[in-house]
Amino acid sequence: MAMELLSAHACFGGEQRFYSHASNEVGLPMRFSVFLPPQPRIKALGKVPALVYLAGLTCTEETFAMKAGAQRLAVDAGIILIAPDTSPRGANAPGESADWDFGVGAGFYLDATQQPWAKHWRMESWIVRELLPLLVKELPIADDRIGISGHSMGGHGALTLALRHPDVFRSVSAFAPIASPTRCPWGVKAFSGYLGEDKNEWAKHDASLLMAASSSAPYPEGILIDQGLNDKFLDEQLKPEFFEQACAQVGQPLELRRHAGYDHGYYFVQSFLADHIAHHARILAGLGFK
């Protein structure tokens, strides 16, 4: 469970760190990044909120730290940033590479039940049951003030993990999420491989179906989603309209912003990240953070 510090870099008065640890849940070494705001800010505030960011296919624990430009925003908000790797590495799984074919190896932020994936593909349990408790123990994180966000496959993960673990995550947002994976080719391929053919199991990891099954609004302070209208995956794979309909059905406040001209990449994420940091900071501060 011990965290091994791989590297640390001064950044906007704080520190961008990269870690590895031997994961019991995954059964392999897993990597993650952490950005800590300047130490005087942390000392003044004590335990501070944290935002978990889940990246998408072909990404690693380095992608968000290097491409999003989030550190300056986190300093201003007084928030710790956590970015886990997206998938197990080194399992010698079929087709294993840095560029997983969607649905064959990409972590998808769930616990697989089917072979050959069940042994190591336990991304949900790693993040929720192992990584976050470890970080709360080792770093000045307020365990009742943790938000979650993500992009693409990571947007799917952010929405589903938030809906499945509202006791862990107090705020949620997403960029271009796979909003209803049971109704898109990427999701069908991933769920068939990881969960088998029981579609009742699939529904447990579909944000739109999870929201529709809620008896009330699980996040009354609101959910923020940004989607580019020039995103080549929008119509076939992402399908935010299903999540929008489910939120309306249960009275869940949702700000789904559609942006002309923006595609699926990190120029899009950079453009609207400040609003997401502010969204999480507002909600986490409203929980009593001083």
Mark whether 23 is an active-site residue. no
Calculate mean pLDDT across residues 176-201. 96
Strand order in the sheet with 141-150: 3-11, 14-22, 29-36, 80-84, 48-54, 141-150, 171-175, 223-228, 254-259
Calculate mean pLDDT across residues 12-17. 97
Q: What is the pLDDT of residues 76-108, one digit of tens each?
A: 999 999 999 999 998 887 766 655 565 567 899
Q: Which of 23, 87, 149, 152 is catalytic?
A: 152
Mark whether 120 is an active-site residue. no
**Summary mean pLDDT of the chain:** 94
Phi and psi, residue 172, nearest 5°: -150, 145
Q: Which of 208, 231, 276, 279 is catalytic?
A: 231
Give 9's contacts (C-beta < 8 A, 6+ positions apart): 15, 16, 17
| Alpha carbons 110 and 112: distance in angstroms, whole number | 6
Q: What is the pLDDT of residues 235-246, one digit of tens each?
A: 999 999 999 999
Predicted confidence at residue 169, as pLDDT, reads 98
Q: Which of 82, 80, 83, 29 is nearest to 55 (CA)?
A: 83
Mark whether 152 is an active-site residue. yes
Q: Both tokens of residue 165?
A: 């673990």
Q: Both tokens of residue 67?
A: 């491409």
Q: Which of 120, 156, 205, 264 is catalytic?
A: 264
Q: What is the pLDDT of residues 216-237, one digit of tens each?
A: 999 999 999 999 999 999 999 9
Q: Which of 236, 290, 231, 282 is nearest to 255 (CA)?
A: 282
- Does 63 score more than 80 pLDDT? yes
Predicted confidence at residue 289, as pLDDT, reads 39
What's this model's pTM, rounded to 2 decimal places? 0.95
Q: Is the peptide bond before 177 cis (omega within 30 degrees of 0)?
A: no
Q: What is the pLDDT of residues 117-136, one digit of tens each?
A: 999 999 999 999 999 999 99
SS3 label, residue 283:
helix
Calculate mean pLDDT across residues 186-202. 96
Predicted confidence at residue 287, as pLDDT, reads 59
